[in-house]
Amino acid sequence: MNSALSDLYYSLSAGLNGLAGPLHGLANQECLTWVIATRDRFNGVPTREQLEKYAWETLESGHVVPGYGHAVLRITDPRFDAFLDFGKKYCADSDVFQIVERVFEVVPTVLNR
């Protein structure tokens, strides 16, 4: 990320800003929309079993689970790991955060079947 020996702040912000724009930025919006729809459907944080079933329903309807539809996503993006650690420290009580964390635990096993 910092192979040009640039200022570390510039390198980190470039990595995060790489998520902007109609392709990646829209993907982030679609992820958040799916997470909020999940929260609304289950009136809060779904159980692992409910989330697994919901992920299957999403896939069987011909859609992807946002954030897991790209072939390159076989390993976790290090930026996500950093945001997950941040969320555990600062917003662990948030329904949205808890759903994102649970999706991270459940959906990869669904996709590997």
For residue 65, the one-letter residue type is: V
Distance CA 57, CA 3 (A): 43
Distance CA 76, CA 54 (A): 21
Phi-psi region of 54 (alpha: psi -120 to 50; beta: other; left: phi over 0): alpha
Catalytic residue, chosen from 24, 53, 63, 79, is 24
Q: What are 109's two structure tokens?
A: 């096993």
Residue 63 annotated to the active site: no
Residue 70 annotated to the active site: yes
Catalytic residue, chosen from 5, 22, 70, 113, is 70
Catalytic positions, written as ranges: 24, 70
